[in-house]
Amino acid sequence: MDNVAAQLHMGPGQIAPTLEAVDAPHIRRAIDCFGADRVVWAADKTSNVLRAPWSDMVHSVRDDPELSHEEKAWIMGKTARRIIDWPDAAGSGE
């Protein structure tokens, strides 16, 4: 299963009334099932029923106290870079 990854589709309002209610349990479940190195964050503004700003969707993951710094780093970019073989930015350390 080396080629399997899960995309976190952030379309708040479809299953819960707030970003936190949508995100937290599903993010943890995806990490527990696949590992943070196989989870990719994405936002789809077209399905954003709450009309939350894109930045709120980003921060719902980045500011989640239940996620480690390393898990956030993987979810918010390292996994995507690994999958598409996109090199790290010079000096980024990630």
The predicted-structure confidence for 22-79, as pLDDT tens digits, reads as follows 556 778 888 998 899 998 887 665 555 566 676 777 777 888 888 999 999 999 989 9
Q: What is the torsion angle, in degrees rounded to the nearest 10, for the CA atoms of residue 87, residue 45, residue 22 and residue 57?
A: 50
Q: Which of 3-7, 52-56, 79-83 has the highest mean pLDDT?
A: 79-83
**Nearest 5 degrees, angle CA 94-CA 4-CA 31?**
60
pLDDT at 72: 93
Domain regions of the chain by residue span: 6-83
> Rounded to two decimals, what is the model's pTM?
0.70
